[in-house]
Amino acid sequence: MSATSSTTAEQEFDLIVLGAGPIGETLALAVAKQGLKPAIVEHDLVGGDCAYYACKPSKALLRPIEVAATTQHLRGVENSHVGADDLLTRRDEQVSNYDDSGQKKSLESAGVTVVRGHGQLNGERTVEVHGNDGTTQTLRTTRAVVVTTGTTANIPPVFEGIPVWNSQDATSVQDVPARLVIIGAGAVACEAATWMNALGSNVTMLVREGSLMSGTEPFVSDILTDQFSDAGIDVRFFTEATQVQRPDGMDPGLGKVKGGTVSIRTSEGETLEAEELLLATGRRPALESINLDSIGLSADDVLQQRIPDWLHALGDAGGKHQLTHMGKYQAKQFAAAFLDQQVHELAIETPTPQVVFTDPQVASVGLTEEAANDAGYDVVTGEVDFADVVGAGLLRDDVVGKGKVVVDKATGCLLGATLMGPETGEMLHAATIAITGQVSVSTLQHAVPVFPTASEVWVGLLDQVIQ
């Protein structure tokens, strides 16, 4: 054993959680509340990516931008502008200046033991924790180990070894690059394009396929592409990076421009140059570093649920929900079963709501028309332009957006809804409730929305699908 490392005595717990993100926190707190003894192991910030590098900071950046944009589309209000320094300060405040001491203290005061370090499996019901100070602890559980280690970024081969930004760099931006190239077209790419453009960066998006936000209703890409074009964001479809060079690149820290101009050769034969390049090419479950080999398993075994009854993987790490709210829901369901409490099961799969905070917002839940058809449903759909909704027109003078619902003809129940327009993120829960409760559209027509609000979009949507 080296002079800088030591091994402490073993500790025993009722439950060990690997990963102190919102899913791990939710689970550990639920167990501690019932008087049991949980431990949670975290090598980074307690609170996880959502609290510091994803959900909270991105929305802290996007909300002021959205408000400023609204003033430019609302007569009677003096145009506002985005103050970059104040915006980044607000972001820092919302993430507690990247200080997790408050969250750690909150967990500990609730009876959760927080263990700092990198946790690895080391045999049945055993976790070995390697601390940053060189110490090693062995934790054992009498019941279960739950993996909630989240995800790690996908790095396509062409970018390997090149210092570039990932999503954490984008949300923790400190140096605003004059030119930014974004690789990707999903929620992370579209939201980052929105705030980086507002901060003054000249943004180019390289999109491998022919649409933004694939998997959503087709009108989402059409509207968002037009909005991005109007904002000065250059979206290039059917374009990939074939070669990337950065001779003087270095990695000085999160949110900092990595140093050295990035040169990107595209599949169109063009060479682009930028101060920074953001990879938003998806994420995969972070399972490689927890030593699954010690119990004879692989990452694929975990994702396929070929695991012993004492080992569980929730949220992103289980490959099911790469959304915080769904992971927390899953943690609550697991906690109830773990504590031998009654677990209410739905007759349908729990619908997954999502909001992408672009301008306009894209709020969706359940199945798109294409997904419903692929699943074998016979459907009827309804679409309404938000420009035709009086209440929406009072939110902005020139409303852009569309609503769509997908209804099962056989049951008359809602299968999915997409609401793209001003502040639709706050309207989505009505659709989530309707799908979850399997409420028929003939019943929903009696839920009368208030005039004049944007929620009146439901009147037009339901009028088209009532059978």
* Average pLDDT over every residue of 326-343: 92
Q: SS in 3 state form for 170-194?
A: HHCCCCCCCEEEEECCCHHHHHHHH
Q: What is the pLDDT of residue 133?
A: 86
* Average pLDDT over every residue of 27-46: 96
DSSP 258: -
Q: Is the pLDDT of residue 344 over 90?
A: no
* AA identity, residue 456: E
Task: State the alpha helices, DSSP H only, in 369-427.
Answer: 369-374, 390-395
Per DSSP bridges, beta strands 11-18 and 135-147 are: parallel
- Contact status, residue 458 vs residue 387, Cβ threshold 8 Å: no
Fold classified for 353-465:
Enolase-like; domain 1 (3.30.390)
Q: What is the pLDDT of residue 8?
A: 59
Rounded percentage of the chain residues whose pLDDT exceeds 70: 98
Q: What is the pLDDT of residue 112?
A: 97
DSSP 301: H
* Average pLDDT over every residue of 152-180: 94
Q: What is the pLDDT of residue 81?
A: 86
* Average pLDDT over every residue of 168-192: 96
- Cα dihedral across residues 46, 52, 55, 56: positive or negative: positive
CA atoms within 13 A on the CB side of 88: 14
Classify 155-281 by CATH class. Answer: alpha beta
Q: What is the pLDDT of residue 97?
A: 95
* Cα pseudo-dihedral 205, 209, 210, 215, rounded to 10: -100
Question: Chain centroid to CA 377: how far?
Answer: 28
Residues 54-82: tens digit of each pLDDT: 999 999 999 999 999 999 889 898 888 88
Indicate where the chain has its CATH 3.30.390.30 domain(s): 353-465
Residues 202-259: tens digit of each pLDDT: 999 999 999 999 999 999 999 999 999 999 999 999 999 999 999 888 888 899 999 8
Classify 6-53+95-152+285-338 by CATH class. Answer: alpha beta
SS3 content of the chain, % helix, strand, coil (to 5): 35, 25, 40
* Average pLDDT over every residue of 303-317: 94
Q: Which of 412, 404, 352, 402 is nearest to 377 (CA)?
A: 412
* Average pLDDT over every residue of 101-128: 96
CA distances from 127 to 11, 150, 294 (A): 10, 18, 10
Q: Is the pLDDT of residue 6 over 70?
A: no
Q: What is the pLDDT of residue 238?
A: 98
Query: Taking CA 166 as the corner, what is the angle to CA 119 and CA 314, rounded to the nearest 5 degrees?
Result: 40
Q: What is the pLDDT of residue 3?
A: 42
Phi, psi of 38 (to 5 degrees): -100, 150
Give, to the nearest 10 degrees, the angle between helix 101-109 and helix 22-33: 20
Q: What is the pLDDT of residue 1?
A: 40
* Average pLDDT over every residue of 18-24: 95
Decide: residue 81, CB within 10 A, 0-12 exposed, 13-18 middle, 19+ buried: exposed
3-state class of 462 per DSSP? helix
In the block, which residue shows the tokens 């972001």? 91
Supply 46's token pair: 């307690």
Q: What is the pLDDT of residue 4?
A: 45
Supply 365's token pair: 């839940």
Q: Is the pLDDT of residue 10 over 90?
A: no
Q: Which of 342, 348, 316 is nearest to 330 (CA)?
A: 316
Indicate where the chain has its CATH 3.50.50.60 domain(s): 6-53+95-152+285-338, 155-281
Q: What is the pLDDT of residue 7?
A: 57
* Average pLDDT over every residue of 144-166: 94
CA distances from 350 to 12, 328, 354 (A): 35, 13, 13
Looking at every residue in the chain, the average pLDDT score rounds to 94
* Average pLDDT over every residue of 171-179: 96
Q: What is the pLDDT of residue 80?
A: 85
Distance CA 183, CA 206 (A): 5
Q: What is the pLDDT of residue 56?
A: 95
Q: What is the pLDDT of residue 391?
A: 94
* Cα pseudo-dihedral 317, 318, 324, 330, rounded to 10: -140
Q: What is the pLDDT of residue 2?
A: 43
Q: Is the pLDDT of residue 110 over 70?
A: yes
Q: What is the pLDDT of residue 321?
A: 66
* Average pLDDT over every residue of 379-395: 96
Q: Which contiguous run of DSSP H or E holds residue 417? A: strand 414-421
In the block, which residue shows the tokens 């479809």? 237
- Please confirm whether the linkage preceding 285 is cis (ω < 30° from 0): no
In the block, which residue shows the tokens 């975990």? 302
